[in-house]
Amino acid sequence: MPVTYKKIGVLAGGLSAEREVSLKTGGAIYNALKGLGYNVCLIDAGKDLAETIKKENVEAAFIALHGGHGEDGSIQGLLEVAGVPYTGSGVLASALAMDKEFSKRMFREQGLPAPEGVTLGKNEFLKAGGILDMELDFAPLPWVVKPVTEGSSIGVSMVGRREELAPALEKAFLLSGRVIVERRVLGKEVQVGILGGRVLGSVEIRPSLDFYSYEAKYTGGKTRYILPPEVDAKHLEEAHRVGLAAHKALGCRGATRVDLILDPGLRPWVLEVNTIPGMTETSLLPKIAKQYGLDFPALVEEILKEALEG
């Protein structure tokens, strides 16, 4: 039995670089809701979104957008103004999670372990003619360079030697006005799945490449996913605790996936919170949920329920 007879718009596609992944996520969610008997329509979230929502009489929105305005709080703000309840995090939490500089501040303020780092502005970088005499003594090498507001590992570089820094910064500044240089934590990558304020479980990521790059994420066979992670119960519990605390530190709602690295002592370090996790049937959150006992349609329905409850 559907929990609502309201018309649900699945917002997918959109204008970001992650449009294709979003269309897959949106299609999977649409099919699941349809199968459960919901009154649902699929909407390509373009510039005319406000009019489309009105025209289609959308009464609740399932946001299946990745990156850009779909994830940074903008679409959430538009839906707030239109009075349409929506899935996932609100305006502020979405904006914070999308911004790696500000989310790091929130994590650290809550006493959560986030790798030490500095944020550089593009103007500063250009003024220096790309030559960096700025102090980067926050941590010894290796470092990671990443654009503040991208996803999917786009523009992320590992810097093992000082001379690799300038090209890494140049690449990242093409994508974002602010770039983070942070300490690279070597260790096990673990992602924690969260729904409705509880931990569903986690997955260990074992890329065959140097790190979990765009290529490692989206080329079949380049990464092994281990469920549950091969980590002893005590340390895994601590990783779950930190994952949930990171979700709460940003004020997130609904489903999120928190990226962590466990250092050689298995201490978890928070990288980021993903407020709109991939939701194709083979994505990580659905895999974690399945282990927890929620199949794909049940997961979709739980996410929807939380949006309607507000």
Q: Which stretch binds ligand ADP (CB under 6 A): 79-87, 181-189, 225-233, 281-289?
A: 181-189
Alpha-carbon span 209 to 87, nearest angstrom: 34
Catalytic machinery residues:
18, 152, 218, 257, 259, 272, 274, 278
Task: Tell me which residue of 246, 213, 74 sits closest to 144, measured CA to CA.
Answer: 213
Q: In the sheet that 143-147 helps form, which strands lie side by side, from edge to edge?
A: 117-121, 178-183, 143-147, 157-159
Residue 99 is a binding residue for ligand ADP (CB under 6 A): no
Helix segments in the chain, DSSP class H: 19-35, 49-55, 68-71, 74-82, 91-98, 100-109, 122-127, 165-173, 214-218, 233-249, 284-292, 296-309
Residue in 71, 99, 189, 301 binding ligand ADP, rule: CB under 6 A: 189
For residue 199, count other CB atoms closer than 10 A to its CB. Answer: 19
Q: Which is nearer to ligand ADP, 259 or 306 (CB)?
A: 259
DSSP string of 135-194, one letter each residue = ---SSPSPEEEEETT--TTTT-EEE-SGGGHHHHHHHHHTT-SEEEEEEPPPSEEEEEEE
| Overall residue count recorded for the chain in this entry | 310
Q: Which is nearer to Mg ion, 9 or 243 (CB)?
A: 243
| Near ligand ADP in 205-264, by CB under 6 A | 211-212, 259, 261
Kindly state the smallest distance separating residue 210's Cβ from ligand ADP, in Å: 9
Query: x-or-dash pattern for ligand ADP, window 105-124, by CB under 6 A?
Result: ----------x---------
Residue 72 is a binding residue for ligand ADP (CB under 6 A): no
Residue 204 is a binding residue for ligand ADP (CB under 6 A): no
Residue 156 is a binding residue for ligand ADP (CB under 6 A): yes
For residue 69, count other CB atoms closer than 10 A to its CB. Answer: 20
Of all residues in this chain, which one has the CB nearest to ligand ADP in the complex?
A: 212
Of all residues in this chain, which one has the CB nearest to Mg ion in the complex?
A: 259
Residue 271 is a binding residue for ligand ADP (CB under 6 A): yes
What tokens does 86 get? 């929506």
Q: Which is nearer to Mg ion, 204 or 259 (CB)?
A: 259
Q: Which is nearer to ligand ADP, 146 or 178 (CB)?
A: 146
Residue 74 is a binding residue for ligand ADP (CB under 6 A): no
> Which contiguous run of DSSP H or E holds residue 274?
strand 268-274
Residue 182 is a binding residue for ligand ADP (CB under 6 A): yes
147 interface partner picked from Mg ion, ligand ADP, none, CB below 5 to 8 A per type:
none
261 interface partner picked from ligand ADP, Mg ion, none, CB below 5 to 8 A per type:
ligand ADP
Per CB under 5 A, residues contacting Mg ion are 259
Torsion of CA 152, 106, 193, 65, to 10 degrees: -40
Residue in 185, 231, 239, 273 binding ligand ADP, rule: CB under 6 A: 185
- CB distance 267 to 287 below 8 Å: no
Centroid of chain to Cα 83: 25
Q: Which is nearer to Mg ion, 182 or 259 (CB)?
A: 259
Binding residues for ligand ADP, total number by CB under 6 A:
19
Note the residues at the interface with ligand ADP (CB under 6 A): 115, 144, 146, 150-153, 156, 182-185, 189, 211-212, 259, 261, 271-272
